[in-house]
Amino acid sequence: MPQKPKAVALISGGLDSLLAARVALDQGVHVEGINFYTGFCVEGHTHAIRKQDRARPKRNNALWSAEQLGIKLHIVDIIEEYKDVVINPKHGYGANLNPCLDCKIFMVDKAREWIEEKGFDFIITGEVIGQRPMSQRKDTMPVIARDSGAGDRLVRPLCARNLPATLPETLGWLDRDKLYGFNGRSRKPQMALAEKFGFEDYAQPAGGCCFLTDKQYSVKLSDLWATRGTREYDLDDIMLLKVGRHLRPRPNFKVIVGREEGENRFLEGYRKRFVHMIPTSHTGPLVLLDGEVSADDIELAARLTARFSQGRDAEQVTIEVKQPGGDARSLDVVPLTADEIPAGWYI
Amino acid sequence: MSTTVVDARNLLCPLPVIRTQDAVVKLQPGDAVQVLCTDPGVVYDIPAWCRVHGHEVCDINEQEYEIAISIRVGESGS
């Protein structure tokens, strides 16, 4: 038995993981945090692409939690490995494309690998029985422990007293009587504990911490998969689903329309990958075309681009069109009218 | 002493932090790192990451669309 047991805590940036880590710290455990980046994580900075949001206070909540706790935080890029979780979830999806149970198993498994590599003793999560309909239920808690391989080295300090004793408890590293027995969807016990610990200004994400729980985002991802005929994706694909208006005028292509200056600038970073266009006679958005496009498709997209420009009511708008890495050419087009854009084009 | 440059332009947080972390773990205490970014969130996140790991932020140079953050690697080495 080590002099001071060492644990890694899964830190999402939310209140529960913050509290769980603090409970273990208070029992003399050396705790370090780990945070997994899947590409689907909701971070305030994603919204900060938009110029109008630049004045908002920004912080990475997982880092903020680590600072509050006075612990190190290791942020791990799992984008590639996570694809299999999203594409082939053994336990299925939630209300949208959220594979919450498989996700939790995967992350605990990664944490298990991490502690084995680093010589740590156990894993802490902020899970609470009954808190989430898919992944945090009494019947799924043992599934996560078993399928991740963590077994009794997985401790949930906030609901531990409702679960069988774990290895750190039986070995006396953690005093079970000083762990908690939270249960259900109520946030009141966590809020009371936060107050006891003096935590203020903690994150309270209304829609969870993952874009896959978002209906609109899931619709866009489904559209991407369906039109490509494959469920494969890369980071750029899933980042672009977070930015701009997405419209599919024809099955073979969609357009991504920057909604304002910040998004236009972000989309500029993708000009080498996509056919793109921008109005030159009027102020307007940068538009990316995703798919194989014909001359007729380009003209339709140009008319759509004109519709989203300041020249929407003009008789004619000049649009500069560029192939990736190619020369620019100009098209003079009549903007589409509002009636010519069916609601079904919007993804 | 050479400076390790991390190009994190056009990446959104936390990827600039992860790229910085991946570079720093290979360096020695006292080494210099410059991180080039475009996500405005880095001016909060990279200093926060440096604080929890004991690295020093020497300079943050914000231009209109690009940010350069200079870091001195601390003793923790992680």
Q: Kindly state whether B60 is in contact with chain A, defined as any CB-CB distance less than 8 angstroms.
A: no
Q: How many CB atoms lie within 10 A of CB A330?
A: 13
**Separation of CA A47 from chain center:** 12
Residue B58 pLDDT? 97
Strand B32-37's sheet: what is its strand order? B3-8, B32-37, B67-72, B56-62
Q: Taking CB atoms and an 8 Å limit, are B48 and A58 in contact across chains?
A: no
Going by their DSSP bridges, the two strands A275-279 and A317-322 should be labelled as antiparallel
Residue A275 CB contacts under 8 Å (≥ 6 apart), including other chains: A288, A289, A293, A298, A321, A322, A323, A324
Å between B15 CA and nearest CA of chain A: 8
Question: A208 pLDDT exceeds 70?
Answer: no
Q: Taking CB atoms and an 8 Å limit, are B14 and A66 in contact across chains?
A: no
Residue A43 pLDDT? 66
Q: Rounded CA gap, A338 and A106, in Å?
A: 46
Q: Taking CB atoms and an 8 Å limit, are A37 and B14 in contact across chains?
A: yes
Least confident of A119-123, A149-153, A203-207, B12-16: A203-207
Å between A184 CA and nearest CA of chain B: 31
pLDDT beneath 50: ranges in chain B: none
ipTM over cut 0.85: yes
Compute the mean pLDDT over every residue in chain A, rounded to the nearest whole number: 92
SS (H, E, C) A118-175: HCCCEEECCCCECCECCCECCCCHHHHHHHCCCHHHEECCCCHHHCCCCHHHHCCCCC
**Backbone φ and ψ of A206, nearest 5°:** -70, -35
Residue A44 pLDDT? 53
Q: Rounded CA gap, A108 and A71, in Å?
A: 19
Least confident of A13-17, A134-138, A237-241: A134-138
What are A27-50's pLDDT values in tens digits? 999 999 999 999 998 765 555 566
Q: Kindly state whether B53 is in contact with chain A, defined as any CB-CB distance less than 8 angstroms.
A: yes
Domains of chain A as residue ranges with CATH: 6-211 (3.40.50.620), 243-345 (no CATH)
Q: Taking CB atoms and an 8 Å limit, are A45 and B49 in contact across chains?
A: no
Question: A165 pLDDT exceeds 90?
Answer: yes
Residue A32 pLDDT? 98
Å between B2 CA and nearest CA of chain A: 26
Domains of chain B as residue ranges with CATH: 3-72 (3.30.110.40)
Residue A54 pLDDT? 61
Q: Rounded CA gap, A266 and B31, in Å?
A: 32
Question: Is residue B13 annotated as a catalytic residue, yes or no?
Answer: yes
Question: A19 pLDDT exceeds 60?
Answer: yes
Residue A111 near residue A100, CB atoms below 8 Å: no
Q: Rounded CA gap, A334 and B2, in Å?
A: 56
Least confident of A52-61, A123-132, A144-153, A321-330: A52-61
Establish how many alpha carbons lie within 13 A of residue B52's alpha carbon, considering only the half-sphere containing its beta carbon: 26
Residue A53 pLDDT? 61
Q: Who among B41, B49, B53 is closest to A48 (CB)?
A: B41
Question: A206 pLDDT exceeds 60?
Answer: no
What are A67-77's pLDDT values in tens digits? 999 999 999 99
Residue A46 pLDDT? 55
Q: How confident is the model at residue A16 (pLDDT cuts 50, 70, 90)?
A: very high
pTM: 0.90
Write out chain A residues lying below 8 Å of B65, CB-based: 265
Check residue A39 and report its DSSP letter.
S
Q: Rounded CA gap, A45 and A43, in Å?
A: 5
Question: A205 pLDDT exceeds 80?
Answer: no
Write out chain B residues lying below 8 Å of A66, CB-based: 48, 52
Q: Who among A46, A60, A71 is closest to B45 (CB)?
A: A60
Cβ-based interface (< 8 Å): residues of A facing B: 35, 37, 41, 43-46, 48-49, 54, 58-60, 62-64, 66-67, 71-77, 239, 265-266, 269
State percent of chain A over pLDDT 70: 93
What are A236-293's pLDDT values in tens digits? 999 999 889 999 999 999 999 999 988 898 898 898 899 999 999 999 999 999 999 9
Q: Across residues A324-338, what is the average pLDDT?
A: 92
Residue in chain A nearest B66 by alpha carbon: A265
Q: Rounded CA gap, B57 and B50, in Å?
A: 7
Q: How many CB atoms lie within 10 A of CB A211?
A: 25
